[in-house]
Structure 1
Amino acid sequence: MFPEGGPGAGLLLLRLSVALALLLHPSGGPLTQAMLALTATGLFLGVLTPLLAAVCCLFSFYDFLVMGGTPLPEVGIQLLTAGALALLGPGAHSLDARLFGRRVVTLPPRKKTRVGE
Structure 2
Amino acid sequence: MQRLFSIFPSGTAGTALLLLRVLVAILVLVDGSAHWALITSFWIGAVFVLPAALLCAGLLTPYVASLGLLILAGVLVLSPNSDAFHLSCAILTCVVLALLGPGAYSFDARLFGRRVLTVSSRE
- Give the number of equivalent residue pairs: 111
Residue 23 of structure 1 is aligned with which of 13, 17, 29?
29
Which entry has the higher C-alpha Rg, 1 or 2? 1
Which aligned pairs between 1:1-117 and structure 2 lie closer than 5 A?
1-24=7-30, 25-26=33-34, 27=36, 28-30=39-41, 31-68=43-80, 70-106=82-118
SS of the counterpart of 1:40? helix
Structure 2: distance between partners of 1:70 and 1:2: 35
Q: Where in structure 2 are there 5+ consecutive unaligned residues?
A: 1-6
Q: Where in structure 1 are there 5+ consecutive unaligned residues?
A: 112-117
- Following TM superposition, where does structure 1 have runs of at least 4 consecutive aligned residues deviating by more than 3 angstroms? 105-111
**TM-score by structure 2 length?**
0.81
Q: CA RMSD in A?
A: 1.8
Specify the code of the residue in structure 2 equivalent to 1:45: A
> 1:63, 1:69 within 8 Å by CA — same for their partners in 2?
no
CA positional deviation for 1:105: 3.5
Structure 2: distance between partners of 1:110 and 1:87: 41
